[in-house]
Copies of this chain bind each other. A is one copy, B any other.
């Protein structure tokens, strides 16, 4: 690659001759890793023109750099970064500005250090990745996804896909969700009641921003999705943490002054229990009595391979009280970052305005690609194929878990992509999880799902969406051995 002349600037304040400055500039570029072995420098004429110096100055600088082994001259071809020039292993400029800003004063709110755990990005290098929520490349309908992406990149779609939507969404995607996706959950919504988000987490964040603030109260399930707790804690609202039982969130435990209830009725996260119909009705009644809004995170409903999924809570909501969250990230792939919010029009209107303020709209090309993938039926086929494989893996996992005498907390009826497991009380699954990594086993310790004061360390989650069936028994044997060998 040729080094662009536009990356060179003379510093008006610099010391030394122009020739020396040019030499330093180039040497610094090489030493810092910006210019790499074999890359071609601009011709002396070009660089001289660009910097407004005489050509001889540049030539002298180049000659000096050749003498010092930074550059080599290849006759008429020009100057190149030398093979023997000092090259740092990877790009990491050493020059760091001398920061005189007191950032801990300048920054008004600290977002690091919340409950959301850091997960290993290199999970694919583990032999037994019981990781949750990642994509299994072997299950994905790559070919059709590419075709849909290409179609969405076509000339015909170019204007729609590349334009600035301001605060709007791709009408094709909205229509598909309204006509096909939501009715499967028993939900009927008009386009004005739907908003596309950057994934389900972004949908949750939007709801949290709009409905909570200091003086308001949110009720959440315990255990629950840790990032939701982080999002809520940043609003300064009061947080009621309600223990779930075998049927999910008990409505009678919701305090009368609660403003917003967050729930995962179809398959509680992370315990996977399903809320029965009677309790769903009781939950809506309770919400009506205390005038609370209910936020339903309907993640993973497509993975109901064991039984028909029960209709969403939103489907029996006659008051417009339920805000519904869906996502394509789990069922397609998480890097997609596409989800949606369904709610009453006045709420969606504000959510749209907030989204416009924060990021305008989710990228158009992604929306259109998903719209094609859905409407051409590839999505349904993908879901069926995935569900079949998950069902098989689930059977293998349950057998392995039973053989090793490990304890699932429930036999969830619907299916899903994980088991919520309980080790003996004295076992710290965080410690075990770290130790298992040496054996190539990745599990998810359960502690971060519990609110701080209620944290229990003997739970863990076993995801099976990204591990091949044949690896499962050996991986589970490792987990069981580690638990048996555990001494606090």
Contact = CB atoms under 8 A, between A and B. Distances in A.
A149 B157 CA distance: 15
A431 interface: no
Interface string A317-349: 111110000000000011111100000101101
B178 A91 contact: yes
Contact of A317 (B97, B349, B365): B97
Contacts of A189: 93
A38 interface: no
A5 B216 CA distance: 42
Contact of A134 (B155, B163, B354): B163
Contacts of A145: 153
A277 interface: yes
B320 A337 contact: no
Given A153-B146, A162-B333, A166-B119, A259 B190 contact: no
A12 to B, nearest CB: 7
B186 A9 contact: yes
Contacts of A359: 198-199, 201-202, 205, 337, 359
Interface in A430-475: none
A318 B107 contact: no
A331 to B, nearest CB: 12
A59 interface: no
A114 B356 CA distance: 11
Interface string A155-198: 10011011111101000000100111001101011110000001
B32 A97 contact: no
Interface string A102-131: 111011111111101011010010000000
A9 B311 contact: yes
A231 interface: yes
A344 B103 contact: yes
Contact of A366 (B112, B205, B360, B366): B366
Given A211-B106, A333-B162, A361-B337, A190 B146 contact: no
Nearest to A52: B308
A384 to B, nearest CB: 11
A116 B168 CA distance: 14
A15 interface: no
A188 B347 contact: no
Top 4 closest pairs, chain A to chain B, by CB: A111-B353, A162-B333, A99-B320, A7-B183
